[in-house]
Amino acid sequence: MVDFLLVDGHHLAFRSFYGIGDLTRSDGFPTGALYGFIKAIWHLQDLLVPCHTVVFFDNGRSAKRRELFPEYKAHRSPMPEELRLQLPHIREVVQVLGAIKIEELEVEADDLLASLAVREANRGKSVAIASSDKDFAQIISGRITLWYPPTSYGNSAKWIPVDSAAAKEKFGVEPPSMVDYLCLVGDAADNIRGVAGIGVKTAAKWLQAYGSIEEIGRHLSELPPRLAKNFSESAALLERNRRLIRFDLSLPIQEIFDCTIDRERLLEFLRQFEFNGLLRKAMGRRGTRKQVQMTLGSQ
């Protein structure tokens, strides 16, 4: 059981879209992503038994990061039309399920999620983050665990918990060093270039030995000359990468009010999209789940 389940909404929507395959309502409207999303939320809730479920969505690319680096995430392919059509209903179903939806225009969902996770962990709450984004490894702690999705899709596939020890085994560095690690190796998913010649093994080795980018810079004479030269010529790149990769944990997310599942609304929603199997499952699930409404202080 955890206090907070925080879900990377767009990640789960994409995963559901590609995992379920073609599924349509009788009128031809695509429903696979929506169907998979509902199943995944229920699976995570059954697995982790959270007191509060909060789902975060992007609403445009980060204005701050685009100003710093216009090519940030610019290489990504357009969203498939079948998924784009389902996204408004995915956003709606979050609240129908009694969970909380958080998004803000041109503020990255990752920053919102990380701000809430760290705030609640500092209050002594346990937090589970459902996402495959390795950036979240930077905030893993004794109270924050990252849950990676299974490599295959289906009810028998298991989400994988990544705590501090598992993060070190996976990446070769402790969570507090993840920002520097990603600065060095880059992040192709976000179109962030790392230092030439420095791969994951070298970055982990250096950070294990010296602890930080700053300390690496003080020991250049101990490094292979070619890599030392690449590193010393990448000061501006590393500073930019750090500003792109490190989460903004200052976002003012406030508690507003409790909310509950409207069971009849949920059943009607499932009927609307002809999810007969989910409708039968919904009949056997708890009719009310207490949640905490969160929203940005500026909204």
Tell me, yes or no, whether 124 and 226 share the same domain. Answer: no
The residue range of the domain holding 196 is 175-245
Whether 189 and 45 map to the same domain: the answer is: no
Largest CA distance in the chain: 69
Mean local confidence (pLDDT), 121-132: 96
Query: Does residue 64 sit in the same domain as residue 138?
Result: yes
User: Which of the four pLDDT bands, split at 50, 70 and 90, describes residue 286?
Assistant: low
What is the reported pTM?
Answer: 0.90
Which pLDDT belongs to residue 31? 97
- Among 245, 267, 286, the domain boundary falls at 245
Which of 229, 245, 261 finishes a domain?
245
Do 67 and 188 fall within a single domain?
A: no
Note the pLDDT tens digit of each residue in 224-255.
999 999 999 999 999 999 999 999 998 888 66
* H/E stretch holding 256: strand 253-259
Both 108 and 195 in one domain: the answer is no
Our count of domains for the chain comes to 2
Domain boundary pick from 245, 260, 286: 245
Q: How big is the chain by its Cα radius of gyration, in Å?
A: 21
Shared domain check, 220 and 270: no
| pLDDT tens string 24-43 | 999 999 999 999 999 999 99
Q: Are residues 291 and 221 in the same domain?
A: no
CATH number at residue 240: 1.10.150.20
- Residue 128's pLDDT band, with cuts at 50, 70 and 90, is very high
Residue-wise pLDDT for 135-189, tens only, equals 999 999 999 999 999 876 655 568 999 999 999 999 999 999 999 999 999 998 8
Across 268-275, average pLDDT: 96
Residues 138 and 89 in one domain: yes
Residue 260 φ/ψ, nearest 5 degrees? -130, 165
pLDDT at 262 over 70: yes
Do 209 and 77 share a structural domain? no
Q: Residue 84: which CATH number?
A: 3.40.50.1010
Q: What are phi and psi for residue 107, nearest 5 degrees?
A: -115, 130
Considering the domain architecture, whether residues 185 and 288 belong to the same structural domain is answered as no
> Comparing C-alpha atoms, which of 74, 110, 47, 80 is closest to residue 247?
110
Indicate if 271 and 182 belong to the same structural domain: no
Judged by average pLDDT, the poorest of 17-21, 183-187, 238-242, 270-274 is 17-21
pLDDT at 98 over 60: yes
DSSP state of 137: G
Q: Are residues 267 and 124 in the same domain?
A: yes
Render pLDDT for 193-225 as a digit per residue (tens, 0 to 9): 999 999 999 999 999 999 999 999 999 999 999
DSSP 243: H
